[in-house]
């Protein structure tokens, strides 16, 4: 299977032998909505009780749709296995919980997805787990931050909102030497543009809510793991009762079929829009690692096979709150909302200083993040041009 090119894989994964497996030749694996699974006899029930039963035992532990999707994602990620969670955020919190305990220390990248920072500071701290934030460009220097009790090094590349890359190999080398688990949030690149496990990262985390789902109509998270990491992850998910509905798994699998064509469109459209923004007087700088003049370009080029449709820009003059409101309230296509990776374009202004503790930003600095959807690029540029005029007025 994995000898096929990725675009072919995307059409095949998770739909093996539907006639043999489900008695029906539907193109996709079917959805079985169930909590209870009826056992054929007492012996089968006994096998289920002590973990020897081969089939589906209870809805929370997975159904054909979730198992098919997990197998598909594991193959795509080149991972030993994959587990689904109720969203990218729970994939992050469950992966961290699986490997950390009271008295442990976590090295967390400063550019992490902001709600994950809140989880570390609010929740992990409550359980006696200490977090140190590090510069995404630390590379091998991360070794100086390692303590006796450091158990996990967490990466995200490029980082949320500000798009700093990381030298993943350098960090993995140090972690392996010191026996530390590495994790990365790979939501921006998806496994099509970057495969963390091929670089020795132990765990890859994704929000399938974004590009894999692709239609802003579901919340699913993915944890892909090496063989050595399987048991702690499966155990933690079981203890916390984390599961995904067959309907959501089905929708994620459907998103997989078009991920390749969508992602390439997002990439090209975003490069056009970002390139256009670079030439505008209202723009100071574009934060997008796939441009040769971006400080993150060489690392991006080294690690990634492509760029997705999410980036940010810094206005030439730091705008007032009123100017930002004028800009976003008047947008016709770029709508104001959280998340990204769907077919629709989005805009989000943010204050980077509020979500960083290592990288310095001016307190009142405002950056603007764009997600470039599948609309016509000319229409998007017209919307943005009018928006920039309102921002600079
Ligand atoms: C959105 C996002 C998440 C959280 O995903 P949900 O599916 O919304 O829970 C995690 N990491 C990154 C980088 C994200 O952008």
pLDDT in tens, 172-207: 999 999 999 999 999 999 999 999 999 999 999 999
CB-CB neighbours of 360 under 10 Å: 10
In 3-state terms, the chain is what percent helix, strand and coil (to 5)?
A: 45, 15, 40
**CA-to-CA distance for 346 and 137, rounded, in angstroms?**
28
Mutation pick for ligand 1 pocket among 210, 214, 242, 252 (CB with most ligand atoms within 8 Å):
210
What pLDDT does residue 2 have?
64
Sign of CA dihedral 238, 230, 106, 244: negative
Mutation pick for ligand 1 pocket among 84, 85, 87 (CB with most ligand atoms within 8 Å):
87
CA 123 from centre of chain: 21
Taking a C-beta distance cutoff of 8 angstroms, is the pair 92, 108 a contact? no
For the ranges 2-6, 23-27, 304-308, the maximum mean pLDDT occurs at 304-308
DSSP string of 108-136, one letter each residue: EETTS-HHHHHIIIIIIGGGT-EEEEE-T
Burial class from Cβ neighbours inside 10 Å (0-12, 13-18, 19+) for residue 329 reads: exposed
Query: How far is ligand 1, taken at its centre, from the CA of residue 279, in Å?
Result: 31
Q: What is the pLDDT of residues 228-252, one digit of tens each?
A: 999 999 999 999 999 999 999 999 9
205 lines ligand 1 (CB under 6 A): no
Q: What is the DSSP letter of 29?
A: P
What pLDDT does residue 20 have?
86
Active site residues: 60, 113, 185, 210
């Amino acid at each position: 299977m994995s000898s096929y090119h990725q675009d072919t894989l995307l059409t095949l994964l998770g739909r093996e032998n539907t006639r043999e497996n489900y008695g029906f030749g539907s193109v996709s694996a079917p959805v079985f909505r169930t909590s209870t699974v009826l056992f054929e006899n007492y012996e089968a029930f006994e096998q289920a009780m002590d973990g020897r039963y081969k089939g589906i035992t209870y809805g929370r532990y997975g159904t054909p749709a979730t198992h098919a999707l997990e197998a598909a994602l594991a193959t795509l990620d080149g991972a030993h296995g994959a587990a689904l969670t109720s969203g990218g955020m729970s994939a992050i919190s469950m992966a961290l919980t699986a490997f950390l305990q009271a008295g442990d220390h976590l090295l967390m990248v400063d550019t992490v997805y902001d709600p994950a920072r809140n989880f570390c500071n609010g929740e992990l701290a409550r359980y006696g787990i200490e977090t140190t934030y590090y510069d995404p460009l630390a590379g091998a220097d991360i070794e100086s931050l390692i303590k006796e009790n450091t158990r996990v090094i967490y990466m995200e590349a490029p980082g949320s909102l500000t798009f700093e890359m990381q030298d993943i190999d350098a960090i993995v080398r140090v972690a392996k030497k010191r026996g530390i688990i590495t994790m990365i949030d790979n939501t921006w690149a998806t496994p099509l543009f970057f495969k963390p496990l091929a670089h020795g990262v132990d765990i890859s985390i994704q929000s399938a809510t974004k590009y894999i789902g692709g239609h802003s109509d579901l919340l699913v998270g993915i944890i892909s793991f090496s063989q050595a990491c399987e048991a702690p992850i499966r155990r933690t998910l079981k203890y916390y009762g984390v599961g995904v509905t067959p309907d959501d798994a089905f929708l994620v699998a459907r998103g997989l079929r078009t991920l390749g064509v969508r992602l390439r469109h997002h990439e090209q459209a975003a490069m056009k829009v970002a390139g256009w923004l670079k030439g505008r007087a209202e723009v100071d700088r574009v934060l997008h690692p796939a441009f040769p003049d971006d400080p993150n370009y060489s690392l991006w080029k080294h690690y990634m096979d492509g760029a997705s449709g999410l980036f940010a820009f810094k206005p030439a003059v730091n705008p007032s709150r009123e100017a930002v409101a004028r800009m976003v309230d008047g947008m016709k296509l770029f709508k104001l909302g959280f998340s990204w990776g769907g077919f629709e374009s989005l805009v989000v202004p943010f204050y980077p200083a509020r979500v960083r503790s290592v990288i310095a930003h001016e307190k009142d600095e405002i950056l603007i993040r764009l997600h470039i959807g599948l609309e016509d690029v000319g229409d998007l540029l017209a919307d943005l041009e009018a928006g920039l005029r309102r921002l600079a007025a």
